[in-house]
Amino acid sequence: MVKRTCFHIISVNSKELEIAGITKDTPDPEGGQIDRDVFVEPTGVLREQARFF
């Protein structure tokens, strides 16, 4: 996991997404965002409240 110094965004790898249960069907949490690629797959960038999965 990589955290920005502002702590508003983290970046995780595919194994961490799997452990957290984050898939293309996972909705963005209220107050947060899961960044996705053109195929709607999570990229591993989790913003704001999405950091707490």
Q: What is the DSSP letter of 53?
A: -
User: Is a pLDDT exceeding 80 seen at residue 13?
Assistant: yes
H-run or E-run covering 18: helix 14-20
Q: What is the residue-wise DSSP string for 7-53?
A: SSEEE--HHHHHHHT--TTPPPPTTEEEEE-TTS-EEEEEEEGGGG-
For the chain, the distance separating the N- and C-terminal CA atoms, rounded to the nearest angstrom, is 13
Tell me the average pLDDT across 10-28.
96
Q: Rounded mean pLDDT of the chain? A: 93
If we measure between CA atoms, which residue out of 1, 17, 19 comes closest to residue 34? 17
Local confidence band at 6 (pLDDT 50, 70, 90 cut-offs) = confident
User: Is a pLDDT exceeding 80 seen at residue 5?
Assistant: no
